[in-house]
Structure 1
């Protein structure tokens, strides 16, 4: 059995979002959107149709589109993603914006990305700050493999280290530390929807039963004091209702110029401070 590209697109659009259906057609047929429009009567082979229908079924079941396509966009660049890593979100781009502002006067800055996942923060900062020395840490070997591949794909050098937060760093100090750690509380109902059951739980929640989701943030903020250079900055992403708590944690350490910044939805999404 075969089917034209247009017919496959129309058929899938009855089960899933029309844009998702189009992207899956293009993925299976290895064609662009322009090809799809110009050659809509081109047929999918039986094997391609079988793969397409399987992908549509997985998307209809709630599996994130990024995992089906094998990539996601972040800060205008395409990154490989697999189920071993969290799918990058647009709100995390705020971390890049804030980091760049603080690195303008530091052309040879030392940057640390904690819990790098797919490496989007480390790789993007390495691209935007070509003189910087970027180090990225993650506990997951599978995530580090994805991140390393993304660094190669974007032609940047990043030092990737395996371990728990600051453990593999010794006495190294940095001008800037960024982190998008697990911050969703263990029992938060949001973990059951929006494709999150397919993403690595270790990247979403600290797993502390009855906790507030701040365990990783507490550890990162405490450890930053001994791993930042004088006047170095720490910037962390957190949950929609955690900004005040994170500012308090920063205030309990040697941080000044403490603040929180809103994402495009007007939600306080990133907090940070400068080491005094």
Structure 2
């Protein structure tokens, strides 16, 4: 079987659950990943025989057909210009989380050598994206999952950012004594009742620890809020990713703890709630 035939076969399988264009694209991504080549190479070598990896490619296509995230199958994802390794031990970093990174960089713009906490780091995406943009920053990245921290450690080493990020295994900030200019958190925010819905097929593959946000999706934010101020320097800020319809509830929750704080919600280009911002006075 050559490349052209393999791609046509894969597309015919994946189109049952994806659009035609998406099925074609993902077929190319899977085969390029397997061959260790860029997608452009596939187009330049349509007659190249893949006999040695044909069976393996069919297994990969089968995994994708069942709904397994493409990123778990290839083992990598692009996030904020970084190539990151991912596995079922971590949540696949989402494009919308880049809004949290942008907000973090904006909050740090006026600080020299800032101290930053990334709570619930998972693959290390947020911490490493900030470190890559702000090499003067010192970042403490925490996670409750040792397997997740192993993925983060691998990414940190691959990107040569180990001098800028410290990984700590703990619940929220329970093992951290430092105080920071910024706390960035991407904690679970899917409501428990939505975990098994058709729109949450990722829940079959991604770690529940990184997804399940309790009855209203805000259980972990509710736990982080009361301890955040004690871990922030005067004038510090908390940024927490939230669900698309959770803004009003998240603001109310934050104000129930901190009536004197400047609390707002950052939205994406579609106008959906994405980040809870809590700014404390100096």
Which residue in 2 is equivalent to 1:4?
2
Q: How far off its partner does 1:257 sit? A: 2.2
Q: Does the 8 Å CA contact 1:225/1:253 hold for their aligned counterparts? A: no
Distance 2:197 2:225 in 1: 25
Distance 1:119 1:190 in 2: 26
Distance 1:26 1:131 in 2: 36
Q: Secondary structure at the match of 1:56?
A: helix
Which residue in 2 is equivalent to 1:128?
133
Distance 2:10 2:242 in 1: 36
Q: Does the 8 Å CA contact 1:5/1:41 hold for their aligned counterparts? A: yes
Q: How far off its partner does 1:24 sit? A: 1.0
Which residue in 2 is equivalent to 1:167?
174
Q: Secondary structure at the match of 1:178?
A: strand
Task: Return the match for 1:138 from 143, 158, 162.
Answer: 143
Gaps of 5+ in 1: none
Moved beyond 3 Å, runs of 4+: 189-194
Cα distance, 1:96–1:164 mapped onto 2, change above 3 Å? same
Q: Secondary structure at the match of 2:139?
A: strand
Deviations 1:91-133 (A, max 9, x none): 1100011111111111211000000000000000011111111
Report how many aligned residue pairs link the two structures: 269
Q: Does the 8 Å CA contact 2:195/2:212 hold for their aligned counterparts? A: no
Which residue in 2 is equivalent to 1:149?
154
Which residue in 2 is equivalent to 1:212?
216
Q: Does the 8 Å CA contact 2:79/2:93 hold for their aligned counterparts? A: yes
Distance 1:163 1:196 in 2: 23
Instruction: Give TM-score, length-normalised by structure 2.
Output: 0.92
Gaps of 5+ in 2: 15-22
Q: How far off its partner does 1:60 sit? A: 0.6
Q: Does the 8 Å CA contact 2:195/2:203 hold for their aligned counterparts? A: no
Instruction: Give TM-score, length-normalised by structure 1.
Output: 0.94
Task: Return the match for 2:54 from 32, 49, 56.
Answer: 49
Calculate the aligned-residue CA RMSD, in Å.
1.3
Which residue in 2 is equivalent to 1:179?
185
